[in-house]
Structure 1
Amino acid sequence: MAATWPFDTDADEHDPLTASRIAVTGSHPMWCYLVAFDRESAARPTDSEAAMLASYLEECKERWYGKEGGYRTKLAQRPLDVDGGANGVIFRKYGPNDWGYRRQSWTMGPLYVPQSPRLRELYPNDSPIGPYTLVEVMDHAHTIVDEVHRPWLDWKAQHPEVFPA
């Protein structure tokens, strides 16, 4: 008997990103995915961007759950990484080198940061205005006060095949 897809209509079972454990879902998913891609995006990730998303997920798991064992073993029991206590990141691609992100817990403010190109056009004085590349958005998601979190910078430096200098 084939295993049933546990995420029903919330995440796309057969999307190519799913093979890298990236949930392809909407802007407000029912499950607490560690990393997701908004299926309503205007554009799809390139192969190199998909590798960055997968690496971002791996960094998140290593930072919060360690390299192996413990909760990582439990995460591996499902086809996508979910944790009810996590404040997952949902990425949206507006166009080439134009990305936004949101935290799953956000209930106020803009839907994505930076906002969509249309909203940037309507409100040009809002900050940050974008466009941001995927790496810039990932850096923004790892920023504490005004500095990008050192472990994230170290992760990127340790993975030059995914994050070229």
Structure 2
Amino acid sequence: MSSQGNEPTTPISESPLTPLEKLQLMVPGFRGYKVKDLIRQDDFLVRKAVTQLLEEARGIIEANEATIAQSNPFDPAIQQYEALLSELRKLISEVFNAPLGDSGMHDRFKVYPEDLERLVEYDLKLITTAKNILDLAKSGASPLNILNMVREARSYAYERQKLLMPEKLRT
């Protein structure tokens, strides 16, 4: 009889992953804003990953709403779903259409390393929150619970976008 099944597996490293390492695992091709010429590309990859998660969640939420509407078209939950879907569509639009991906704004002002570190932290918060929204949608959570998560994600998206603006314009 082999004792392989009884031996505890030990991780390669005991140290926790940094936000940058977590993001690199979650977003294929992400380099962490390390190369100035690739800032736009990394920004696009993060925004694309977030919008894909949110679009999948939107589809599930719409299906959940349709199921309720079929059985009871006057169910008050339908209004909650409509409010949630409206906020979710705004978030998807704001993340996907954020200006940095194509504008070259970073060429007009200096992006400081500490801002890039904070950007990675907001990226991780945003993508983690988008994943949580998707998980809540899959689990059939109440529209109000998901709406709170969408609002949280919008605040991360807003703060993230401010980091990509000249410091004088951040208010």
Range of TM-score over shorter length: under 0.3
Of structures 1 and 2, the one with the larger relative CO (CA 8 A, separation 6+) is 2
> When you count strand as a share of all residues, which structure comes out higher?
1
Q: Which has the larger radius of gyration?
A: 2
Normalising by structure 1, we get a TM-score of 0.28
Normalising by structure 2, we get a TM-score of 0.27
> When you count helix as a share of all residues, which structure comes out higher?
2
